Amino acid sequence: MRTYLRPLRAAAGRPPTPPRPPKTRQLTSWLLTHPDRLAHDDRDQLARARAAYPHLDALTNHVTAFAEILTAQQGQRLNDRITAVEADDQPDLHSLTAGLRRDHDQVVNGLTMTYNSGVVEGHVNRIKIIKRQMHGRANLDLLSKQILLA
């Protein structure tokens, strides 16, 4: 129906309706996806949204910079990024930087060291699954045997 009425409205002198802005979920998905992995249409829509909203453009620059620090494990660049975010007018990101400053040493260690607790978290997850499966069916002795034998 829209495609049929659009030329009629244009002929009547009525301006065409502007395209709807993208939804928040869609924008978030575009911001958190690496620019090389975005589809061409999505990249164009993101560029239009960035041009229309300067705060979104600044947010995109900050998110991209933080993503580079995370993926390249460059914790030494964190202080520069925190300073850049605090100099900008993004109050939501100011709360993020306050949290990063509160746990600064731990965050820098997590971003620079190659060690992680992935194996331990995997074991904890496995134990929780066994516990949930046996909930109400056995006592602590059988649960501990099941964990040790699994």
- Host domain of residue 125: 118-149
- In a shared domain, residues 70 and 101: yes
Report pLDDT digits (tens) over 104-134: 999 999 888 888 888 899 999 998 888 888 8
- In a shared domain, residues 99 and 125: no
- In a shared domain, residues 79 and 127: no
Q: Helix (H, G, I), strand (E, B), or coil: what is residue 52?
A: helix
Phi, psi of 116 (to 5 degrees): -150, 170
- In a shared domain, residues 81 and 103: yes
- In a shared domain, residues 128 and 74: no
Which residues in 1-37 are b (16+ Cβ under 10 Å) and which e? eeeeeeeeeeeeeeeeeeeeebeeeebeebbeeeeee
- In a shared domain, residues 131 and 90: no
Report pLDDT digits (tens) over 34-75: 889 999 999 999 999 999 888 888 999 999 999 999 888 888
If one counts the domains in the chain, the total is: 2
Write down the pTM of the prediction. Answer: 0.65
